[in-house]
Structure 1
Amino acid sequence: MANQLTTTIEGRDFILEREFKAPRELVFKAFSDAEHLKRWWGPRGWELTVCSVDFREGGIWHYCMKCFDERQGDFYGMESWGKAVYEEIVNAEKIVYTDYFSDAEGNETPGMPSSRITMTFEDRGGSTLLVSRSTYESEEALRQVVEMGMEQGIAETWERLAEHLASQQ
């Protein structure tokens, strides 16, 4: 499974799995540290222009992705704000949070679906199996984000993560 993203939809759940050729502690840190996130979060052509991380239970990650790739047409110059509220953190093993579309002030965007995400990090002897399970309020809410291109965006984002992890070893 190394370097291959597997996606599954089960009812209201969107499940992603990928094995990364990096130690579990490094993969976990890439999701919990702003300096790491700034280097890989978002699809190709997008960068984090804002990245505020309070990585603790009850803490908030607030960020802005901006498209800097002119070849992406109407997306060029677009900003996409997001907010995560951390619910449970088990060092190097698990992160549970609720993920929201937001505005620059961190207010949830009306009409946009949120999801509760559970990410697990499994040690595979020098590599890490990352499993992300996003649960939406309804199958319609999940369909909405899939139709927005979430699967391609995550595939590109996790590919950038793999490149970042390789550069850190």
Structure 2
Amino acid sequence: MFKTETFELDRANNALVFQRRIPASPERLFDAWTRPEQVRQWWDPSGRELAECEIDLRVGGLLRFVNAGPESFPFEGRFQQIDRPHGFAFDALGAAGSVRFVPDGEVTEMTVVIRCASPEHLQQFVQMGVADGTSRTLDNLASYVGSAQG
């Protein structure tokens, strides 16, 4: 079991690891991550709705998110694995990402891993503020599933 929110910079594996305990089912969280009408509500770290959100939920399918603000850039990737409701894996920005959901009573333990290709790649992500941005995005997700119906 882990705290409600944890973050680890795992230099041995060139990874950023985020964990959250969220009072929602794995099914609810999987849907919040994979349905465009839901993702557009919480993905942007600033809390703004996404300008664009495309999800082709199949192995090899595209995911593309574009923030609405002036600092926006497309986040694009492809699904590598889908295991509803337990999680999924994808490639984006040269990194391998995974999201896993494990039920624990009334909450779900969610683990998000961003594995970079090299120590230099990891350092680029650190300098770009990926840890802070992802933490804010996951906070948005927790608020969204806590307030949204369904």
- TM-score (norm: length of structure 2): 0.91
CA distance in 2, matches of 1:14, 1:40: 20
Aligned to 1:103: none
Identity of aligned residues (%): 23
- Given candidates 76, 79, 100, the residue that maps to 1:120 is 100
Alpha-carbon contact 1:43-1:153 (below 8 Å) kept: yes
Equivalent residue for 2:78, pick from 71, 85, 104: 85
Asked if 1 retains the 8 angstrom alpha-carbon contact of 2:87 and 2:100, the reply is yes
Find the residue that maps to 2:57 and give its secondary structure: coil
Q: Which amino acid aligns with 1:129?
A: E
Tell me which residue corresponds to 1:156.
136
Look up the equivalent residue of 1:30 and give its one-letter code: A
Runs of 4+ in 1 over 3 A off after TM superposition: none
Q: Residues 38 and 20 from structure 1, CA distance in 2 versus in 1: closer, same or farther, beyond 3 angstroms?
A: same
Matched, 1:13 2:15: yes
AA matched with 1:164 = Y
**Partner SS, residue 8 of structure 1:** strand
For the aligned residue pairs, the C-alpha RMSD in angstroms reads 1.4
Uncovered stretches (5+) of structure 2, i.e. residues with no partner: none
Match of 2:118 among 117, 126, 138: 138
AA partner of residue 145 (structure 1): F
* 8 Å CA contact 2:33, 2:39 repeated in 1: yes
2:52 alignment counterpart = 50
Unmatched tracts of structure 1, length 5 or more: 68-76, 101-113
Q: 1:71 corresponds to which residue?
A: none
Checking the alignment, whether the CA contact within 8 Å between 1:40 and 1:160 is kept in structure 2 is: yes
Tell me which residue corresponds to 1:41.
Answer: 43
Structure 2 CA distance for partners of 1:168 and 1:45, relative to 1, 3 Å: closer
Q: Answer with 1 or 2: which has the greater Rg.
A: 1
1:16-35 aligned within 5 A? 16-35=18-37
- Write the distance in 1 (CA, Å) between the matches of 2:85 and 2:25: 10
Asked whether the 8 Å contact 2:47–2:140 carries over to 1, the reply is no
State how far apart, in whole Å, the 2-side matches of 1:115 and 1:30 are: 22
Does the CA-based 8 Å contact 1:5-1:155 persist in structure 2?
no
